[in-house]
Amino acid sequence: MTDIIIRTDDYAGHITLNRPHALNALTWDMCLAIEDAIDGWRNDDTVKLIIIDGAGDRAFCSGGDIADMYASGQNGDLDYGRKFWRDEYRLNSKLAHYPKPIVTFLHGFTMGGGVGVGCHASHRIVCENSQVAMPECTIGLVPDVGGTYLLARAPGFVGTYLGITGARMSAGDAIFAGFADRFIPHENWDDVKSMLARTGDITALPVFTAPPAPLADQQAAIDAAFGADNLSDILSGPLDADMQKTLGRNSPLAMACGVILINRARENGTVNGALAQEYRFTYRAVAQSDFIEGIRAAIIDKDRKPRWQALTDAAVTNMIAPLGPDTFEVTGETP
């Protein structure tokens, strides 16, 4: 079985993530295959739009496949992760700036690397079982794949809340927060995909009423609690006991850097700027952050008892300092 299915259906280029046994977790090879496909379709006049979906019932894409990243880190290999993230971020940028419509169908889990593939598209569809999240801080990483850009554009400080807690968004919440555009019941998806392929007409997407967004009702409280410029002030602010407990489980270093990177994305305002800032952290993640320990606790040993490093101002500064010649930059056709 191939991990990714790439084909053309009439007027549509169609990409299906095909690892349902692994919740369609994204591998390095899958990133490169998606990039190669969209590069090939960019100037193909017979392809009017692109469809990206996921196989199985449980997930569009649950995130990046981090088992190899852990293994390489344990062996002292720092280049594997750096090259993977650089290639993945280049794909994220190309998706965000693509000149043709891209329609993504975000059923089930859409998290982390899945957000990078699914939520920079021009038309993002959710359904009844959609669960969208940026849970990186729970494993010692910052929201990345351009996630800080998306989080920064959410209403008020909802993005800071979502980014450092890893909270999941329902379909309504994802639309409210700007991670999705349109709700279409799942039972209609096959017909919608067929229509798009047959007509190549993005304007023919059907309109359904989106479900409620609980986040909208919570925004005032979230803004009051997560509007500070740094993690320390957030933690000493008006958080209830449950929220204190949630934040207490995550990597302090990742959360502290995450707050800063989301704030910088608000000021910078571009996907590529956000990716460049995120890469400062991920470039150093294997050697200097809590990332390897976070994977160990969550994925390898599954003891759910990560031993996070003590948070210091110096550690935060070092993790997001400029990279000099290793700075992430997108070259070529993508702006």
Nearest-angstrom CA–CA distance, 49 and 33: 17
The residue-averaged pLDDT of 15-27 equals 97
Residue in this structure with the two tokens 């959360």, named with its chain if needed: 255
The per-residue b/e assignment along 229-250, b for 16 or more CB within 10 angstroms, e otherwise, is eebeebbeeebeeebeebbeeb
Nearest-angstrom CA–CA distance, 230 and 163: 13
Nearest-angstrom CA–CA distance, 286 and 83: 12
> What confidence score (pLDDT) does residue 77 get?
87
Nearest-angstrom CA–CA distance, 333 and 89: 15
> What confidence score (pLDDT) does residue 295 get?
95
Q: Which residues pair with 125 in a beta bridge?
A: 105, 182
The predicted-structure confidence for 156-204, as pLDDT tens digits, reads as follows: 999 999 999 999 999 999 999 999 999 999 999 999 999 999 999 999 9
> What confidence score (pLDDT) does residue 1 get?
61
The predicted-structure confidence for 250-309, as pLDDT tens digits, reads as follows: 999 999 999 999 999 999 889 999 999 999 999 999 999 999 999 999 999 999 999 999
Length in residues, the chain? 335
257: helix, coil or strand? Answer: helix
> What confidence score (pLDDT) does residue 189 get?
98
The residue-averaged pLDDT of 126-152 equals 98
> What confidence score (pLDDT) does residue 69 get?
86
| Dihedral angle, C-alpha 234, 240, 245, 249, nearest 10 ° | -30
Nearest-angstrom CA–CA distance, 181 and 160: 20
The predicted-structure confidence for 199-255, as pLDDT tens digits, reads as follows: 999 999 999 999 999 999 999 999 999 999 999 999 999 999 999 999 999 999 999
Q: Which residues pair with 53 in a beta bridge?
A: 16
Domain boundaries, the chain: 4-326
Q: Is a pLDDT exceeding 80 seen at residue 332? A: no
How do strand 12-17 and strand 49-54 relate by DSSP bridges? parallel
Nearest-angstrom CA–CA distance, 36 and 30: 10
The predicted-structure confidence for 58-116, as pLDDT tens digits, reads as follows: 999 999 888 888 888 888 888 999 999 999 999 999 999 999 999 999 999 999 999 99
> What confidence score (pLDDT) does residue 76 get?
84
- Supply 173's token pair: 């919440």
The predicted-structure confidence for 30-49, as pLDDT tens digits, reads as follows: 999 999 999 999 999 999 99
> What confidence score (pLDDT) does residue 66 get?
85
CATH architecture of 4-326: Alpha-Beta Complex (3.90)
Q: Is a pLDDT exceeding 80 seen at residue 2? A: yes
125 and 65 in contact (C-beta within 8 Å)?
no
Q: Is a pLDDT exceeding 90 seen at residue 334? A: no
Question: Burial of 325 by CB count in 10 Å (0-12 exposed, 13-18 middle, 19+ buried)?
Answer: exposed
